[in-house]
Amino acid sequence: MFFRLELELKKDKDIFLTQNIASLFHGVLMENISQPYAEEMHISHIRPYSQFLRFSEERIFWTICAVNDQAYEKIGLPLLADTFQTVYLRGYEEKSVNRILL
């Protein structure tokens, strides 16, 4: 199963971001999936997903794509959970952006 998930995040106008912060979003992803699955991907060097960012003045559009059922279960479902509301950008002045529930 291939899936594509786009999360719309609200950000303050005073936060200036570029695609260079994608690594911080990778960290957010790893913090929100199970530790064993994150370690499995790290050890095997397999990346069954990709991500990219788009920006507007007050929004960040974070797109995550994955190529199999396991990635959907282990990556997609945690990001769709009601408990996933705020993205903390660690290492970027500890800024946070809030998910917009669609």
Domains and CATH numbers, the chain: 3-99 (3.30.70)
User: For 39-57, what is each residue's pLDDT tens digit?
Assistant: 998 888 778 999 999 988 8
User: For 16-29, what is each residue's pLDDT tens digit?
Assistant: 777 778 888 998 99
Q: Enter the DSSP assignment of 73.
A: I
Residue 102 has a pLDDT of: 40
Separation of alpha carbons 21 and 23, rounded Å: 5
